[in-house]
Structure 1
Amino acid sequence: MRRLRRAFPAGDDRGTIAMYTVLFTPIVLMLAGLLVDGGLAIHARQRAADMAEQAARAGANQIDTDALRATGRPVLDPGRARAAACDLLGAFGTQVTASRCDADQEQVTVSVEITVKPQILGIVPGFGSFTLTSTETARPVTGGNGP
């Protein structure tokens, strides 16, 4: 009987899979972390912008009716506008880390800060929570062409 020779000598490829696993597992985890936590950051930024926009609009609704009747121009009551904007942000509770509401007779400006804790990259040293800030401005408008 004739012996067949093996195409690959025994022992030449031992441990190759283990080496690939050790090398590529951290890379795959980092990519998954960037995907998940990057999406989380984008969502948080949109949420911060939405909160700031809603609060600024709530403040811009606080028109001084006496000044409007006298001049025909929408003029804000700065104290009421600031209070309305900050009250709306207070309704969001702990989602808002910090906020600032400013108002004058022309416009309301609201800044919102949200802190996000990464879900996957948080296990890597140096990738702690990060802060996203959004600032929006609203002005009162009356009239228009629509119904």
Structure 2
Amino acid sequence: MRTRPHERGSTSVFAVIVAAVLMALAGLCIDGGKVLNARATLTDTAEQAARAGAQEISSGSMRGATRFSLDAAAARTAAGRHLAASGISVDSFTVSTTSQDVVVSVEEEVPTTMLRIVGVDSVHVTATGTAHAAIGINQEES
């Protein structure tokens, strides 16, 4: 087999480029899956914490009133307690309440494995869960 002198080594360059592209695609698949899994887990945890907080109804607002409200301090404590008991490593979280809603936002840095090759050490993930407090049978008002 005869080779031309100006084409010498071109296969090696092509193989290196293809290998680098394949490694980057593998990194996107592996680390992308980790990020999606972390986001789903964080969303589920935030929603469960919001539900735990929404169970803290102020007993004073239920006596003789047509509307009820949340005990904001107890709702924040219950949501925080649920996050701590979940076993999920959450970097930071916030709990906000209105008269009948609890909103829990959680944040986490998900470390990458394959994408470190291209300089991406971690991906920031944020998830939010909301729960609405309800008592008894809920019916649509007409």
TM-score (norm 2): 0.84
Out of 136, 142, 146, the residue aligned to residue 135 of structure 2 is: 142
Deviation at 1:50, TM superposition (A): 1.0
Out of 31, 56, 59, the residue aligned to residue 62 of structure 1 is: 56
Are the counterparts in 2 of residues 77 and 104 from structure 1 also a CA contact under 8 Å? no
Are the counterparts in 2 of residues 37 and 121 from structure 1 also a CA contact under 8 Å? yes
Deviation at 1:65, TM superposition (A): 2.6
Correspondence for 2:94: 100
5 Å-filtered alignment, 1:107-126, equals: 107-125=101-119
Out of 16, 26, 30, the residue aligned to residue 22 of structure 1 is: 16
Kindly provide the CA deviation profile for residues 23-57 of structure 1, in whole angstroms up to 9, marking residues without a partner as x. 20000000111111111111111112111111111
Kindly provide the CA deviation profile for residues 62-121 of structure 1, in whole angstroms up to 9, marking residues without a partner as x. 112332232143321111111000111112356101001122332111110011011210
Letter in 2 for 1:48: L
Instruction: Please give the alpha-carbon distance, in whole angstroms, between the structure 2 residues aligned to 1:143 and 1:129.
Output: 45
Unaligned runs of 5+ in 1: 1-8
Are the counterparts in 2 of residues 59 and 84 from structure 1 also a CA contact under 8 Å? yes
Structure 1, 93-102 or 78-87: larger mean CA deviation:
93-102
TM-score (norm 1): 0.81
Out of 5, 11, 14, the residue aligned to residue 3 of structure 2 is: 11
How large is the Cα RMSD of the aligned pairs?
2.2
Larger-gyration structure (1/2)? 1
